[in-house]
Structures are given as C-alpha cells and as structure tokens.
C-alpha cells in the first residue's frame, strides 16, 4: 500500500472520530490558522504538544502519522535549507559568499519546518478520522452561504468527493505498477537524475492510461444513474450537531485566540 495517507480513512470509536465533520473541519482550519500565524518558540512548542495530544485522542498510532509525513520529507528539508542559508539576520554563525547561517535564519528554518509538519499532521488527522463523503458534505455545508454569490458549491463538493475517493486508488495502482516493473528487472530510483526520470516512463504511461479508463468508467456510471449538472443532490445520511461538537469547537477557537493574542 502507498505510504501517502491523503484521502484514506481508518474506522474508529474515538472522540475525534465521533465529532461532527463540520466541527472537525472548522476546528482544523482554526488550528492551521494558528500554526501559520504564530512565530514564537514557546507558542510553537504549545502547538507541538497540542497536535500530539490530538493524534493520541484518535486512537491511531503516532507511527502512522509519521509515515504520512515521510513522502514529503524531501520537500520540507529543501525548503528549510533554503530558509537557513538564504535568510540573514541577528548573530552570524557562518558565512561564505551569498550563503549564511544566522540566528534569524535558524529561527525561520525552525518555523517553516514546524508549519509544514504540523499542517500535514492535522490534515492527516482529519482525513484518517472522517469518511471522504462526510468530509465533502461538511465542506458543502460550511460553504453553503457562498451560494448567495452564485458560486458552484454543489459542483465543487461533488468534485472533492470524487477526488478523495480516487486518490487512494490511484496511489495503490501506482504502487502495483512499480512492483510489477521491479519484478521485471526495472531499475527504478537508481542512477543519475536523468536515468531516474527515464525509468519512470514505464510507470507513468500505464498509470495515465489506467486513470483515463477509470475516468471513462466513472463518467459512464454517472450517466447511467441519471446524474445531471446543476441539480441539487439529496443525502442519505444527515449530520446531527451534538453538545460535544459545540464544546470541541469552542475550546479550539479559544485556544487559537489565546495563541494569537499571546
């Protein structure tokens, strides 16, 4: 199975699982705003602790969340290195031409690392504890007021639902193609950068063809079931807002305001 956890759902009975998806999504957005806004070492330390406690409350092993960060680790490291070596300010610890390692650069590198990782972890918490259909329906409810601006909210929620359903399937399909090519003796991920790019061609082409076939089958299935664009869809399941949803959202908003005013 592919290591990227985007769009995957793990059933459970934890407090986080049982929260209304609308409250969960609004709480996640509130925490992400706090993560992207604060810039002090102490406040980021509080956010690290808060994120760890949330992951523990889901009943899912922390190792699973770390596995979700690993596929993006090189992007994070590359961004952090750029911040460290090309941001000057404060005490200069090392300098060589345009490259410097300064106090301000190290602080910025730490903040960028913290923001990247915490946003990924919180996003993973939401997707692992919420069904893709519930997530798209919750987003639809939260964006419903934008209908007054004549924005296509129904189509946007429908596209999000399809994307969340298909992304895990495409990742698994890519992993199966990689395994099949390796069994045939293909050297994928080895050698120079140009050679690695060429070795991915036997993987990208079958995956592209599979994606087109999957999209064609999906379009045919929608047409057979009478799907029409612009018509509001009914729901089989209805959300029920409970007292614990109000408590959770209120605590998260108060926590966010406290960090922003600190």
Judgement on whether residues 188 and 261 belong to the same structural domain of the protein: no
- Residues 58 and 7 occupy one common structural domain: yes
Contact yes or no for 31/122 (Cβ under 8 A) = yes
Residues 82 and 175 in one domain: no
Q: How many domains does the chain have?
A: 2
- Dist. CA 168–CA 188, nearest whole Å: 22
Cα distances (Å, whole numbers) of residue 251 to 17, 167, 222: 17, 32, 41
Give a yes or no: residue 148 inside a domain: no
Q: What is the model's pLDDT at position 161?
A: 72
**Cα Rg of the chain (Å, integer):** 22
Q: Cα separation of 23 and 259, whole Å?
A: 20
Could you tell me the residue range of the domain that residue 219 belongs to? 153-229
Angstrom distance (rounded) from CA 157 to CA 141: 9
DSSP string, 6-70: TT------SHHHHS-HHHHHHHHHHHHHHHHH---HHHHHHHHHHHHHHHHHTTS-HHHHHHHHG
pLDDT at 1: 43
pLDDT confidence of residue 47: 93
Contact between residue 141 and residue 235 where contact means Cβ atoms under 8 Å apart: no
Mean pLDDT per 10-residue run, the chain (262 residues)?
63 90 92 88 90 92 84 82 81 79 85 91 90 82 79 75 73 78 70 65 80 84 75 71 91 91 80
Q: Looking at the domain assignment, is residue 159 inside a domain?
A: yes
| Distance spanning both ends of the chain, measured CA to CA | 43
Other CB atoms within 10 Å distance of the CB of residue 253: 15
Q: Are residues 64 and 117 in the same domain?
A: yes
160 and 120 fall within a common domain:
no
Whether 122 and 33 map to the same domain: the answer is: yes
Those residues with Cβ within 8 angstroms of residue 70's Cβ, 6 or more apart along the chain or in another chain? 3
Q: 93: which DSSP letter?
A: E
Does 113 share its domain with 188?
A: no
Question: Considering the domain boundaries, does residue 142 fall inside one?
Answer: no
Does 86 fall in a domain? Answer: yes
The confidence score (pLDDT) of residue 4 equals: 58
Same domain, 3 and 108: yes
Check whether residue 130 and residue 3 sit in a common domain. Answer: yes
Same domain, 130 and 165: no
Structure tokens at 24: 């969960």
d(CA 68, CA 45): 21
């Amino acid at each position: 199975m592919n290591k990227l956890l985007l769009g995957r759902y793990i059933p459970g009975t934890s407090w986080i699982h049982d929260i209304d998806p609308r409250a969960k999504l609004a709480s996640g957005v509130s925490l992400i705003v706090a993560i992207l806004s604060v810039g002090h070492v102490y406040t980021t330390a509080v956010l690290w602790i808060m994120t760890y406690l949330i992951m523990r409350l889901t009943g899912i092993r922390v190792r699973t969340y770390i596995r979700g960060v690993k596929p993006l680790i090189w992007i994070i490291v590359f961004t952090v290195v750029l911040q460290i070596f090309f941001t000057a300010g404060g005490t200069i610890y090392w300098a060589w031409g345009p490259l410097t390692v300064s106090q301000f650069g190290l602080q910025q590198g730490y903040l960028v690392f913290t923001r990247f990782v915490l946003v990924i972890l919180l996003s993973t918490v939401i997707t692992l504890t919420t069904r893709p259909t519930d997530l798209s329906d919750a987003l639809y409810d939260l964006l419903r007021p934008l209908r007054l601006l004549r924005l296509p909210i129904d189509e946007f929620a429908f596209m999000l639902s399809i994307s969340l359903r298909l992304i895990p399937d495409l990742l698994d399909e890519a992993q199966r193609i990689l395994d099949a090519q390796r069994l045939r003796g293909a050297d994928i991920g080895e050698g120079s950068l140009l050679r690695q790019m060429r070795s991915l061609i036997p993987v990208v082409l079958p995956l592209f063809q599979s994606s087109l076939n999957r999209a064609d089958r999906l379009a045919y299935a929608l047409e057979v079931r009478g799907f029409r664009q612009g018509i509001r869809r009914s729901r089989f399941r209805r959300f029920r807002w409970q007292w614990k949803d109000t408590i959770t959202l209120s605590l998260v908003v108060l926590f966010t305001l406290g960090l922003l005013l600190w």
